[in-house]
Amino acid sequence: MARVYYDKDADLTLLEGKKVAILGYGSQGHAHALNLKESGVNVCVGLRDGSSSAAKASQAGLEVLSIADATKQSDIIMILLPDTEQAKVYKESIEPNLQPGNSIAFAHGFNILYEQIKPSADIDVWMIAPKGPGHLVRRTYEAGQAVPALVAVHQDATGNAHDIAMAYAKGIGSTRAGVLETTFKEETETDLFGEQAVLCGGVEELIKAGFETLVAAGYQPESAYFETLHEVKLIVDLIYEGGIEAMNYSVSTTAEYGGYTRGPRVITDATKAEMGKILGEIQSGEFAREWIEENNSGLENYKKLQKQTNDHQVEKVGKVLRDLMPFIGQGSKKVQDVSGG
């Protein structure tokens, strides 16, 4: 059984006399900054010049500085910028302002694992990665609850990196829910695999293939939308709450039997073999190289694929149908990372 830490395993007083810089004020950034502040931690927010978030952060009572000044003034620097921007900002504004014994912290391991950021040996490097979107990290904290998180230490220069990381986790509330010990390698590789094979890539293609099959057979696109996209949430909610057995208990025995006998014909040994290849590309660094190269060369292929997906018929039909169900829109705030990494 993996190690999991709770409130009693973390000492918030380790952050007394220290200052924490939260770089970025997006999904994760606003939640970390506000939760830490309300936990009594001395926190500032580092933003680029002209950032539209500066006003929001100051209005929330937070000290707002440039990324360079926030780094200079702080002992712990949590980097909550988009993963694709971190290496450049690190080189230009963070690295030159670090002191020996400082902590560089992350909420996802990509840039460390794939060596886009290489902190010098006198810096602590650790991760506290909440397993949920930022708005939930904030909302649950306010309600006295929390989103669970992962903790990992990549580099322990001071000998205190793990304890400092756990104090930070307590500050954002995560030790209320549980903080699971992992490594940068495990967090990054499982996170990428989950989003590629199952959550984003897998689910999206399953929906489109089911929709296309029904429409090609002459059924109304609206009926196809409800059966292959809309109801995915209802089924996933049941699985989330009670596992696969609870889902099967709630659906009809016809649905249950049909699933047992037909599901394995959709997801076959060939699918599983391909999942293995996808995992291999993550482990070898091939996916990371491809994605970094795509970013460096102007995201042409990414934009083409995005347009293709957005132009799909299931999207056009969905827009019309969702407008007729206004209650659905309320939960549809953009969530950048469903799996929370």
Q: Which is nearer to ligand NAD, 67 or 247 (CB)?
A: 67
Q: Which is nearer to ligand NAD, 108 or 176 (CB)?
A: 108
Give the active site residue among 30, 32, 108, 154. 108
Q: Which is nearer to ligand NAD, 124 or 195 (CB)?
A: 195
Q: Residue 109: name its binding partner from Mg ion, ligand NAD, none (Cβ under 5 to 8 Å by kind).
A: none
The answer to whether the beta carbons of residues 184 and 154 sit under 8 Å apart is yes
Question: Residue 313 interacts with Mg ion (CB under 5 A)?
Answer: no
Q: Which is nearer to ligand NAD, 92 or 293 (CB)?
A: 92
Q: Which range touches Mg ion (CB under 5 A), out of 47-55, 132-140, 190-198, 322-330?
A: 190-198
Q: Tokens 């997006």 sit at which residue?
A: 26
Give the integer Cα–Cα distance in Å for 157 and 166: 16
Q: Is 108 annotated as catalytic?
A: yes
Q: Spell out the residues 6+ positions from residue 287 whose beta carbon is closer than 8 angstroms to its own.
A: 192, 196, 278, 281
Question: Residue 46 interacts with Mg ion (CB under 5 A)?
Answer: no
Residues that bind ligand NAD (CB under 6 A): 24-29, 48, 51, 53, 80-83, 85, 89, 107-108, 129-130, 133-134, 336-337, 340-341
Q: Minimal distance in Å, beta carbon 212 to ligand NAD?
A: 30
Task: Rule CB under 5 A: choose which of 146, 191, 211, 282 binds Mg ion.
Answer: 191
Q: Residue 312: name its binding partner from ligand NAD, Mg ion, none (Cβ under 5 to 8 Å by kind).
A: none
Question: Residue 187 interacts with Mg ion (CB under 5 A)?
Answer: no
- Cα Rg for the chain, rounded, in angstroms? 22
Q: Residue 173: name its binding partner from ligand NAD, Mg ion, none (Cβ under 5 to 8 Å by kind).
A: none
The torsion angles phi and psi of 51, rounded to 5 degrees, stand at -65, 135
Give the integer Cα–Cα distance in Å for 102 and 124: 6
Question: Residue 173 interacts with Mg ion (CB under 5 A)?
Answer: no
Give the integer Cα–Cα distance in Å for 65 and 80: 15
Q: Which is nearer to ligand NAD, 80 or 314 (CB)?
A: 80
Q: Which range touches Mg ion (CB under 5 A), out of 10-18, 36-44, 279-287, 331-339?
A: 331-339
Q: Which residues are designated catalytic?
A: 108
Binding site for Mg ion (CB under 5 A): 191, 337, 339-341
